[in-house]
Amino acid sequence: MARAINFNAGPAALPLEALERAQRELLDFEGTGMSIMEHSHRGKAYEGVHNQAIALVRELLAVPDDYDVLLLQGGASAQFAMVPMNLLSPPASADYVLTGAWSKKAYKEALTIGAARVAGTTEQDGKFARVPSASELKLDPQAAYAHITTNNTIFGTQWHEFPDTGAVPLVADMSSDILWRSIDVSRFGLIYAGAQKNLGPSGVTLVIVRKALVAAGRKDIPTVFQYRTHAENDSLYNTPPTFGIYLLRNVLDVVKNGGGMAALEQRNRDKAALLYAAIDERADFYRCPVERGSRSVMNVVFTLPTAELEAKFLAEAQKRNMVGLKGHRSVGGIRASIYNAVPREWVEALVDFMRKFEA
């Protein structure tokens, strides 16, 4: 079977090279006669992988020394709770900017823990066609933190410039936005991301957090949910998801050997430009509901004139070995997720198909 042209939103396509490496050494990791899955998390073989993974995150994202890099479990959904559990103490309140389903979920979870307020929203008729401009935000200068979701997989919007929250720590869910370009980590208090878009398989969660926030975090919550517990133990407080971290290491190695972050960003911008151009040049047939300034480089959403045509489009795409193009069940339409591991050729194949289908 030929490799599928995979536009899944996450779990998503992984670099073939990272998978092939895993396959080669699945039964025998580096001549040890054991799978990496069978190694103790306290042994040299796994610890080497663990430390490499963290070092590669630090290197590729230029993480400053005053930040901890943690590898946790539970995905972004667990972080929706852990962020306020650690950082929100009465009487303080936290600010949430609503730009889609995931930021609303994060906000709702914060309300189960403490005080939170909406510092801005672009919701209109249940949909989000853009992210807010800086002038639209009503930030609380006393907030414990301000939370944004930097890329919205469902609505296909993305923050291209991050808001300036002054002395208030900026907390960002970057699950579908991490590591496709360089960012200035020092502008954030805390960044979290489920691995299953750009980093690796599901089951690993990356947290990058300023050490001062870790130190100031609440101590009256369960030990296992305190960031400090994992920071003090190099993410080895309890047994980590060793295979997931191993595969994340493989993926980061591919990024590094593929020319680094600048080249990666250029490839991603080129892919997105190609796809948006294909939509815009047939604007009476394909329609992107997202305002131009908010269009996501990772998740490209568009609609066709009717639901019937969309169903036909998906069926024809499937025949061409293209999968994962169905929009999220909550909004419908078409969505092509074009993360790091989606090569330009796949986007070209999609664009070619779009032209033929419209004709």
Residues 69-128 that bind its own copies (CB under 8 A): 73-78, 80-81, 85, 108-109, 112-113
| Least CB distance to its own copies at residue 14 (A) | 6
Contact with its own copies (CB under 8 A) among 146, 154, 231, 247 = 247
Nearest to 254 by CA among 147, 146, 349, 341: 341
- Asked whether position 182 contacts its own copies by CB under 8 A, the answer is no
Compute how many residues bind its own copies; rule: CB under 8 A. 71
Contact with its own copies (CB under 8 A) among 176, 198, 242, 296 = 242
**Residue 230: both structure tokens together:** 């994992």
Only one of the segments 116-124, 141-149, 238-246, 309-317 lies at the binding site for its own copies (rule: CB under 8 A); that segment is: 238-246
Selected catalytic residue, list 68, 159, 180, 197: 197
Contact partners, residue 238, CB within 8 Å, separation at least 6 = 224
Of 122 and 242, which has the nearer Cβ to its own copies?
242
| Least CB distance to its own copies at residue 350 (A) | 16
| Least CB distance to its own copies at residue 167 (A) | 27
Per-residue CA distances from 63 to 52, 58, 182, 195, 288 (Å): 14, 5, 10, 17, 35
- Asked whether position 152 contacts its own copies by CB under 8 A, the answer is no
Considering only residues 277 through 336, tell me which ones interact with its own copies, judged by CB under 8 A: 321, 323-324, 329
Distance (Å, whole) CA 338 – CA 300: 8
Q: What is the CA radius of gyration of the chain?
A: 21
Considering only residues 192 through 231, tell me which ones interact with its own copies, judged by CB under 8 A: 194, 196, 201-204, 220-225
**Residue 47: both structure tokens together:** 């610890």
Selected catalytic residue, list 159, 173, 271, 326: 173
**Within 13 Å, how many C-alpha atoms sit on residue 107's CB side?**
20
Considering only residues 37 through 66, tell me which ones interact with its own copies, judged by CB under 8 A: 37-43, 46
Confirm whether 102 is a catalytic residue.
Answer: yes
Only one of the segments 5-13, 125-133, 163-171, 262-270 lies at the binding site for its own copies (rule: CB under 8 A); that segment is: 5-13
- Asked whether position 11 contacts its own copies by CB under 8 A, the answer is yes
Confirm whether 197 is a catalytic residue.
Answer: yes
The residue type found at 279 is: I
- Asked whether position 9 contacts its own copies by CB under 8 A, the answer is yes
The residue type found at 112 is: T
- Give the residue numbers marked as catalytic: 102, 173, 197
